[in-house]
């Protein structure tokens, strides 16, 4: 298969990509307890620089937002210094990399964030979460953020955006998907507020739009994207009317002229044409992600449903994924046992074609 569309250039806002293969953001838990990524993380990202665009693993904007053990952050000088070496390695290899800004909200344990987890509302997720000692325990009930605290979290996102710029990233993506804080405001399965941040769809999206405004002040809209998961149930998420909810959200995002909207697992079980609906409503650049193969990515690109495709596990296990797709070479098998935490094993040691 020639993958004519997958290997054609495209511009997403200020980002001019040589191909439409994107490294999806994937948590790998290879940082110190204070959120400093290990030195060999630079190898991991630079190995994958042949993708048109790399999106970093989700990176916490504050201690309060650090809901998993040994994940990287982007709010201290030491974190910025470590990320600077990573972005330089990617740029030296000819790549582009964005920092995905993250606040986990209620998907956190008090041992990690130094106090009761926070969310849009005091609704506990029905699942287990990790403690600082990597133990799994039942999730705690979060505390509802006050309006003053919401403003502080918005300010924390801006600090994260500023630190990402200081670290040499090419732009940022907001993690608004998969049940984390922004998603906890967007969807009414969690957001039970009755003030200006809850109730109507317009109110529930207010937090996301305020965060976007703060980050755009730092980067400009053409270097900012947002990831959304309209139908995702991950982390005990739900919404009473997801299609209408996200159509309304996309109408608001359309006016911002972002670099892109990045959809995770976009198609709902009962909404097989949701991607086309979102595409028609939004009208600007879209990245899609969700168990794509080269062939299914090419099909969606050819159909005009998306502008670029984010690959997760295949890119994790194949640092030269673009070359392998183009040549039709066999893909390495991923080892799930080494996805989270550990060392260079299962991280930077997957073989390339050149090394085979």
The pLDDT tens digits of the residues spanning 193-232 come to 999 999 999 999 999 999 999 999 999 999 999 999 999 8
For residue 271, the 8-state DSSP code is: B
Q: What are phi and psi of 78, to 5 degrees?
A: -65, -40
pLDDT at 355: 77
CA dihedral 299, 301, 302, 303 (to 10 degrees): 80
pLDDT at 68: 97
pLDDT at 273: 87
Sole residue written with tokens 């133990």: 135
Buried b (16+ CB within 10 A) or exposed e, 242-254: bbebbbbbbeebe
Between CA 287 and CA 305 the distance in angstroms is: 9
Question: Does 272 fall in a domain?
Answer: yes
Question: Does 47 fall in a domain?
Answer: yes
Return the closest-CA partner of residue 212 out of 165, 253, 272: 253
Question: Does 1 fall in a domain?
Answer: no
Between CA 28 and CA 65 the distance in angstroms is: 17
pLDDT at 245: 96
Look up the CATH number of the domain holding residue 320: 3.20.20.70
Task: Indicate yes or no: pTM above 0.95.
Answer: yes
Is 247 strand, coil or helix? Answer: helix
331: tokens are 């893909």
pLDDT at 269: 55
Weakly modelled stretches of the chain, pLDDT under 70? 266-271, 356
CA dihedral 194, 198, 201, 205 (to 10 degrees): 160
Beta strand 53-60 pairing with 21-23: parallel
* Alpha carbon distance, N-terminus to C-terminus of the chain: 22
Question: Does 353 fall in a domain?
Answer: no
Question: Does 2 fall in a domain?
Answer: no
Q: Which domain holds residue 140?
A: 10-338
- Is residue 180 part of the annotated active site? The answer reads yes
Question: Does 355 fall in a domain?
Answer: no
Active-site residue, selected from the candidate residues 44, 45, 68, 180: 180
Query: Domain count of the chain?
Result: 1
Question: Does 254 fall in a domain?
Answer: yes
Q: Please state, as a whole number, how many other Cβ atoms lie within 10 Å of the Cβ of residue 279.
A: 23
Q: Please state, as a whole number, how many other Cβ atoms lie within 10 Å of the Cβ of residue 147.
A: 10
pLDDT at 1: 78
Question: Does 279 fall in a domain?
Answer: yes
**Is the CB of residue 191 less than 8 Å from the CB of residue 120?**
yes
């Amino acid at each position: 298969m020639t993958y004519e569309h997958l290997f054609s250039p495209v511009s997403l806002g200020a980002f001019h990509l040589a191909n439409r293969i994107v490294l999806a953001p994937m948590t790998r838990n290879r940082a110190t307890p204070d959120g400093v990524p290990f030195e060999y993380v630079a190898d991991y990202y630079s190995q994958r620089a042949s993708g048109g665009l790399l999106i970093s693993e989700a990176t916490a904007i504050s201690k309060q937002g650090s809901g998993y053990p040994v994940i990287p952050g982007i709010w201290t000088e030491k974190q910025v210094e470590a990320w600077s070496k990573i972005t330089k390695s990617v740029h030296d290899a000819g790549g582009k990399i964005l920092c995905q800004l993250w606040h986990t909200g209620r998907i956190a344990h008090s041992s990690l964030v130094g106090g009761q987890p926070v969310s849009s509302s005091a609704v506990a997720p029905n699942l287990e979460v990790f403690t600082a000692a990597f133990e799994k325990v039942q999730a705690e009930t979060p505390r509802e953020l006050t309006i003053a605290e919401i403003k502080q979290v918005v300010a924390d996102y801006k600090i994260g955006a500023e630190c990402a710029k200081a670290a040499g990233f090419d732009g940022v993506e907001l993690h608004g998907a998969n049940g984390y804080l922004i998603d906890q405001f967007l969807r009414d399965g969690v957001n039970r507020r009755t003030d200006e941040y809850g109730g109507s769809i317009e109110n529930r999206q207010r937090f996301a739009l305020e965060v976007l405004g703060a980050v755009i002040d730092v980067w400009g809209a053409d270097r900012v994207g947002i990831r959304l998961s309209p139908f995702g149930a991950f982390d005990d998420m739900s919404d009473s009317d997801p299609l209408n909810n996200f159509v309304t959200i996309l109408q608001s995002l359309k006016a911002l002229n972002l670099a892109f909207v990045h959809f995770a697992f976009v198609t709902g079980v009962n909404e097989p044409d949701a991607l086309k609906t979102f595409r028609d409503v939004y009208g600007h650049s879209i990245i899609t992600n969700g168990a794509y193969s080269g062939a299914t990515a090419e099909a969606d690109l050819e159909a005009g449903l998306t502008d670029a495709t984010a690959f997760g596990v295949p890119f994790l296990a194949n640092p030269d994924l673009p070359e392998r797709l183009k040549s039709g070479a066999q893909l390495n098998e991923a080892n799930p046992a080494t996805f989270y935490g550990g060392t260079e094993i299962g991280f930077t040691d997957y073989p390339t074609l050149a090394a085979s």
